[in-house]
């Protein structure tokens, strides 16, 4: 399906639109409302995300940020205020997307906030892990490792800026080893131990009945 931007006329294939395929990468306009009732042939965002490595989704998130963030202050003058502008806009956006794109957009937004690391760690990275604590159930192991590696690199840069600050919020933002290695449990199918046991009980009952009939017949003779 081809999307045409109502703002500048730019056109692109929906399946190649990245994080949010309705956002124009040329002018930043969100065209979703113009296509809400035209879903025939649309490739779901979840399906697109599942086929891409997490690093590609982060790059797409970075490209989508100008369309998500409507107003940015001067970061050189108000780094904390600018970081909160980014964070508040992203918080609204990630509530409507799948876990992989959600993680990618959080990382993309975080990369803008290095000059306000305290705000970024407490109000975005830690907030994301607390408010979407069950996302690990749907994320791929490599997604969670990517996140932890990002936090490792963040920690090194963060402590260089503020060696006096040991940020416990950053420490609590990691995925645990158990979460990284989590595997969805498969549902029971015919032939599971419970089913096999029931089948054995039926055959045992039939065997007892058959033996009884045989003995009664033999006694009559």
pLDDT per residue as tens digits for the range 205-215 = 656 656 556 55
pLDDT confidence of residue 27: 62
User: If you ran DSSP here, which 8-state letter would residue 8 be given?
Assistant: T
Looking at 33-42, 67-76, 134-143, 168-177, which range is the least confident one?
33-42
Looking at 8-17, 59-68, 140-149, 176-185, which range is the least confident one?
8-17
Residue 92: count other Cβ atoms within 10 Å of its Cβ: 9
Helix (H, G, I), strand (E, B) or coil at 82: helix
pLDDT range class, residue 41, cuts 50, 70, 90: very low
Please say whether the dihedral angle defined by the alpha carbons of residues 147, 153, 156 and 162, taken in this order, is positive or negative: negative
Question: Which tokens sit at 192?
Answer: 């599971």
Tabulate helix, strand, coil % of the chain (nearest 5).
60, 5, 35
Give the helix/strand (H/E) hosting 14.
none
Greater confidence, 142 or 38? 142
């Amino acid at each position: 399906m081809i999307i045409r931007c109502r703002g500048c006329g730019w056109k692109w294939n929906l399946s190649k639109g990245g994080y949010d395929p309705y956002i124009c990468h040329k002018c930043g306009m969100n065209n979703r409302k113009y296509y809400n009732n035209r879903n025939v042939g649309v490739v779901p965002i979840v399906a697109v995300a599942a086929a891409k490595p997490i690093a590609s989704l982060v790059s797409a998130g970075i490209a989508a940020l100008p369309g998500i963030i409507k107003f940015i202050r001067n970061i050189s003058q108000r780094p904390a205020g600018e970081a909160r502008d980014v964070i508040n806009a992203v918080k609204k956006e990630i509530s409507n997307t799948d876990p992989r794109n959600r993680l990618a957009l959080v990382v993309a937004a975080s990369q803008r906030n290095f000059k306000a690391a305290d705000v970024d760690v407490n109000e975005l990275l830690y907030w994301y892990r607390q408010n979407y604590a069950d996302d690990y159930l749907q994320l791929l192991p490599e997604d969670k490792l990517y996140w932890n590696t990002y936090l490792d690199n963040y920690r090194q840069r963060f402590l260089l800026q503020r060696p006096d600050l040991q940020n416990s919020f950053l420490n609590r933002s990691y995925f645990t080893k158990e979460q990284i290695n989590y595997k969805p449990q498969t549902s029971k199918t015919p032939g599971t131990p419970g089913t096999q046991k029931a089948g054995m009980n039926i055959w045992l009952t039939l065997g007892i009945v058959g033996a009884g009939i045989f003995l009664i017949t033999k006694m009559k003779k």
